[in-house]
Structure formats: C-alpha cells, structure tokens
Structure 1
Amino acid sequence: MKIIIAGAGEVGYHLAKQLSLDEHDITIIDIDGARLDRIGSNSDVLTIPGSSTSIEILKSAHVENTDLLVAVTSSEAVNVNTAILAKKLGAKRTIARVSNDEYISADYKDMFKNLGVDNLIYPEDLAAIELVKLIERAAATDVIEFENGLLTLIGLKLDKNAKVIHKTMRETASEYHSLNYRIVAIHRGMRTLIPSGNDIFLP
C-alpha cells in the first residue's frame, strides 16, 4: 500500500518504522527537519519537510495516488484538516488522531465521514500497533470482532486487480496456507452463497 503519514513524532515515528518493515510504500510529512532526519536514517521511507495542511505539500507527496493517509501530529486541528484535504485531493482512505473524545461519538461518525475523515483515533496515547491493525483492515468494508478480538469477521469487496481474482477457493487456500482464515460466505448481486472449494473469486 502507498501510505502517507502526517507527523513524525513518537507515534508517527514508530508507525512508519513498523509499516516500512511490512514493505509498504511510506511517505512521512513533518515541519520538524530533525524528526524527519531521525526517521529517514532508521527506516526506508520518503520524508517531506513542511505542513501537511499545505495543498502543495500533499500534492508533492502524490496524495492523489495514496491508498491511505494517517494524520498523527500533536495537533488535533492539523490532523482533521489534513485528512479532509487529503480526501478531497484523492486519498482513498483517511485516519485522523484526535484528543477530544466527543468527536468519536457514533452521533458524529457520519458527519466526519462526509467531511472526508474515514476514521478517528483516540485516545492520545494510542499505541502505534493499534493503528497498524486498522491499516491492515483498510480494504475491509465491514469488520466485526467477537470475544475481544479472538475471532474477527471481515467483509471485503474485491477489485479487478486483486491477486485472488479468477482463482478457486481451493487454489487460494493452498497458496495462502499460512494464514488462519475461513471464507464463510460470498455475496454476488442479490445472492449470498455458502462457498465450496471450487467456487471462484470474482471482482
């Protein structure tokens, strides 16, 4: 995935390190050159000095081709504005770190989504690993956890470029045998199917 991280503080630093190890294409933006030097010397990331609320800076990071933008600066206003701008400029998905728990109320979820902020992260000390988990699910249309995360039901919409397209369930299970998952249903048009090993993945 191509990911832009706004903010090279502690959360942004550790998030960039973790995601670069997972071979994501990471660009990190910050106004503090020393912070960028620190992350640039320790991780395989592209660093851009400047404000993430600058349209020109976001364009220089190729936000229009970005799968995900994560805004984790120390400023709630900067994070929300960055996410809104990024979405308007073409980012597929946006996440903003906030310090006001009022914003994460279900009553305001649709309001922020309409503005261009797909997900809000709270509280302030949220560990970077929790952000990684959310990013790994960025392609999911539905995520439901059971038993405090021991079992997770994930709904995915496959596009035409997905690696599993036109492969059978059996072929995919063999190719990704190290993954602990089970396909429980396929939704096509108005029909929901219980899959067998011979069913084929379609976009």
Structure 2
Amino acid sequence: MKIIILGAGQVGGTLAEHLAREENDITVVDTDGARLRELHTKLDIRTVTGAGSYPMVLRQAGCADADMLIAVTNSDEVNMIACQVAHTLFRTPTKIARVRATAYLTRKGLFAHEAVPIDVLISPEQVVTDHVRRLIEHPGALQVLEFAGGLVQLVAVKAFYGGPLVGQDLAFLRRHMPNVDTRVAAIYRRNRPIIPRGNTVIESDDEVFFLAARRDIRAVMSELRRVERDFRRVVIAGGGNIGERLAEHLEHSHQVKIIEHSLERCTQLSERLDRTVVLHGSATSKRLLEEENIEDCDIFCALTNDDEVNIMSSLLAKRLGAKKVLTLINNAAYVDLVQGGEIDIAISPQQATIGSLLTHVRRGDIVNVHSLRRGAAEAIEAIAHGDKQSSKVVGRAIGEIDLPESTTIGAIVRGKEVLIAHDDVVVESGDHVILFVIDKRRIRDVERLFQVGLSFF
C-alpha cells in the first residue's frame, strides 16, 4: 500500500515505523528537514521537506497515485487543508486526519464529503479520555480495551502475591471458575512475552492480558489480584480538553475536582461543568493538595500538557496519600521508566492514537486495532468472510487454523453472542474474531489469513 504521512512528530514517526516494517511504500512529509533525516536513517522510507498542505509538495510526495493520506501534523488547519487538496487535485481514495480543536469537532456537518472530505477523523483527546474513563471504571486494571461494540473486553492486570490464581496453572482457572469463560491471551514476565498454555503457571508481578465478556471482567480480575473498591473520589490535574471531557463524563457518578493553573480557564470550566469542583492553582503545590484532602482521593489523574508537571504532581499526590495515580506522559521514552513504581499507570497519548490510526490502515476486514505494550504487540478484531473453499478460517475449528507464530485467537463474537476461543469452536462467516499478536512482524500474515480468495485448495 502506498501511504503518505504528513508530520514527522511522535505520532507520525511512530506510525511510519509501524507501517514501514509491514511491506508498505511510505513517504513522510514535514517542514523539519533534520527530523526527516533522522527518520530516513532508521527506516526504509521516502521523505519530502515542505508544507503538507501545498499542492506541489503533495505531488512531489506521490499523492497522484497514493492509496492513503494520513495527516498528523501539529496543525489542525494544515491537516484539514491537506485532505481537501488531496481530494480535489489527486482524488486520493482514503484521507485520515488528526483534529484536536473542539471548535471543529463539534460542527458535525463540517467533515461531510461535500465539505471537508476527511474519511476518518481522529481526535486524540477523545481517544485518551475514553482510555482513562475505562481504567477508572475498572480499578486495578493497567489497560482496558473494547471489541465488538463493547461486548468483549481485553484487560491487562498485574498478578499480585496472594491472588487465588498466582502459583496455579491456567487450567486451574477453568476448574476454579466453571461458570465464567475467559481466555488468557498473553503473559508478560519481566517484560518478556509468554504464549500461554494450559500448564503455564502465573507468577507474582506477571502482567496478564485476558479476554472475557464485559459482564465477567470483574470476576476474572478478582482471581489475579486483590479486589479494589470502586473509585468514587477523583482529582484531575489539568483542565484542558481531556480533563474537561473526563470530568463531564464522571461528574454525575463520581465526586470530581479539577485543578487548573489558568484563572480564565477555571472560569470557563466552572460555567460548563455542573457538579465538578474547579480549583485555581498548581497541581504541584503541596499546600493545595493537603488543603483538598488528597489522602481521601481514590485516583489522581495528571492530564496536563506538561510531562514534568504530570510526573511531579503524581509523585507528590501519591506520597501525600492518594490511593492511585494515573499520569499522562507525552514523551514515550518516559512511560516505562515511571510506571510500576509510585506511579501506578502511565499513559502515552501517542500510542493510544496509533491504535486508532492502524485500524484504518490494515488490509482485510479489520475493524479494530489496539496497540499494546507501547507498540510491541497488537490486539486485532477481524471479520471472517467467505466459506471453507475461499477462506482460511471460515468453516474451520480454531484448533485447525494455521495461525501465524506468536498469534492467538482469544474470542469470537457472533451477533450478540460471545464465544471464548477453544480448539473446537468453528468460525462462521460474519464472525468477529479477536486476536492477540505478540510479534508485530506477523501482522501481515494475520491480514492475509482473513483475506478471501477464489480457492485455497
């Protein structure tokens, strides 16, 4: 596939890295020549220096015969104009744009095909807000991902010493919980992946990824770690778009406070939010946190645009007694450094956005892609089509499917029915198949698996 990426920042660069490894023809456009040279030395890609919205620059990048344009520059306006130019002058089939500003996103008719012709609109703030919201709804989870419209969830938890499953093999889980069907998709032990088998023993501190129907998630989590009470008191550091959206979602079911350093922004927030307490001040102020009884806080969410403020305020809140801290970190290199110590959960907005973008780049009928372990693995939802003659999966039991190495099927969704994967489950046309791919090099093989051909005999 011939893909043009506008913007060589963290999202654009990481996306180029993902796609260049998967037999795609990638061109990256940016105004920063030094950044492009750095990317070019690492990856087998073309680069073009210039403004991504300029027709001549797009022509030079190969827009005339490109399959897809992905606009992820730091400017909403450049991203939108680039999609318009690509549509009008080059008839580019698929145009994806990252747009941050709420002023644009709330105008529903703006992105109609006859207006600004963007096929897929990505809002990083909404992606991150949804991610944080799911974590708040599942105390103890490190990551919560949804498939098939929320019928199935993939949850990552750290196995704690003393949990009923710790020290037991996975076969014990089925015997111990006969009425709950679940599938452990992967285990990470000291940052190394393990393909789970029935005789795999779960150890303390393992990061366990499991799939289950939404209704069964809490029951399975309680087997891996001590049960945590629901989060009720939430403190949000940062009243930007993410902080405001999260507060708006939570304020009718939780006690929410927002700390914001801008007085003007505080005024706006107090007018827009109904039940949220808006506090003017610095989230790194020990006095302010103590005055607001941070020790009674169930979860402290640091969601400002400043990594240093997020990290320092999280560490301070934890030391002053906050039960959990969740930290937004823009510099992906910091995420692994801070998570797991005093900071319970570190979130990279770039990785969250990458998953949304990859959903629309994958071949075959791929309807959902989630990037896991900072891009090291992927969870994929694919729709099976065809019949036993034209498909490699339809009409076959899971145990008969020739899956790529390091790939497991976790669940199948058939209509509203959730079928946790077992070797004797037969895949039917129209099934949503949820797979866990530990080795990213196998992604193309997974895509081929779900492509329909004339015959495979």
TM-score norm. by structure 1 comes to 0.70
Q: 1:87-106 alignment to 2 at 5 Å? A: 87-88=87-88, 89-105=90-106
Deviation at 1:71, TM superposition (A): 0.4
Closer, same or farther: CA 152–108 of 1 in aligned 2, 3 Å: farther
Residue 184, structure 1, aligned to residue 409, structure 2: no
Residue 136, structure 1, aligned to residue 362, structure 2: yes
CA distance in 2, matches of 1:184, 1:78: 41
Residue 170, structure 1, aligned to residue 389, structure 2: yes
Structure 2: give runs of 5+ residues left out of the alignment: 126-348, 370-378, 394-400, 413-426, 431-451
Residue 122, structure 1, aligned to residue 341, structure 2: no
Which segment is superposed worse, 106-115 or 23-32? 106-115
Deviation at 1:183, TM superposition (A): 5.3
Deviation at 1:105, TM superposition (A): 4.9
Deviation at 1:103, TM superposition (A): 3.7
Aligned length: 172
Aligned counterpart, 2:82: 82
- Deviations 1:82-139 (Å, cap 9, x if unpaired)? 11111221211000111123544583375256432111111253432331222216x7
CA distance in 2, matches of 1:34, 1:126: 21
Which amino acid counterpart does residue 391 of structure 2 have in structure 1?
Answer: T
Matched-pair contact (CA < 8 Å) for 2:5–2:71: yes
Q: 1:8-157 alignment to 2 at 5 Å? A: 8-88=8-88, 89-105=90-106, 107-108=108-109, 111=112, 114-123=115-124, 125-127=349-351, 128-136=354-362, 143=367, 152=381, 154=383
Q: Secondary structure at the match of 2:92?
A: coil
CA distance in 2, matches of 1:31, 1:151: 34
Q: Secondary structure at the match of 2:389?
A: helix
Deviation at 1:154, TM superposition (A): 4.5
TM-score norm. by structure 2 comes to 0.33
Which segment is superposed worse, 36-45 or 120-129? 120-129
Matched-pair contact (CA < 8 Å) for 1:101–1:123: no
Closer, same or farther: CA 105–15 of 1 in aligned 2, 3 Å: same
CA distance in 2, matches of 1:106, 1:152: 30
Matched-pair contact (CA < 8 Å) for 1:20–1:45: yes
CA distance in 1, matches of 2:109, 2:28: 28
CA distance in 2, matches of 1:59, 1:29: 11
Deviation at 1:37, TM superposition (A): 0.6
- Deviations 1:164-200 (Å, cap 9, x if unpaired)? xxx97425317x8427685525xxxxxxxxxxxxx97
Higher RCO, Cα 8 Å, sep 6+: 1
Closer, same or farther: CA 110–43 of 1 in aligned 2, 3 Å: same
Which amino acid counterpart does residue 136 of structure 1 have in structure 2?
Answer: R
CA distance in 2, matches of 1:172, 1:39: 38
CA distance in 2, matches of 1:55, 1:151: 35
Structure 1: give runs of 5+ residues left out of the alignment: 157-166, 186-198
Matched-pair contact (CA < 8 Å) for 2:69–2:95: yes
CA distance in 1, matches of 2:384, 2:117: 22
Deviation at 1:47, TM superposition (A): 0.4
Which amino acid counterpart does residue 81 of structure 1 have in structure 2?
Answer: I
Q: Secondary structure at the match of 1:52?
A: coil
Identity %: 30
Deviation at 1:66, TM superposition (A): 0.9
Matched-pair contact (CA < 8 Å) for 2:5–2:29: yes
Closer, same or farther: CA 51–110 of 1 in aligned 2, 3 Å: closer
Which amino acid counterpart does residue 173 of structure 1 have in structure 2?
Answer: K
Aligned counterpart, 2:224: none
Which amino acid counterpart does residue 389 of structure 2 have in structure 1?
Answer: R
Closer, same or farther: CA 155–170 of 1 in aligned 2, 3 Å: closer
Answer with 1 or 2: which has the greater Rg: 2
CA distance in 2, matches of 1:154, 1:45: 30
Which amino acid counterpart does residue 52 of structure 2 have in structure 1?
Answer: S
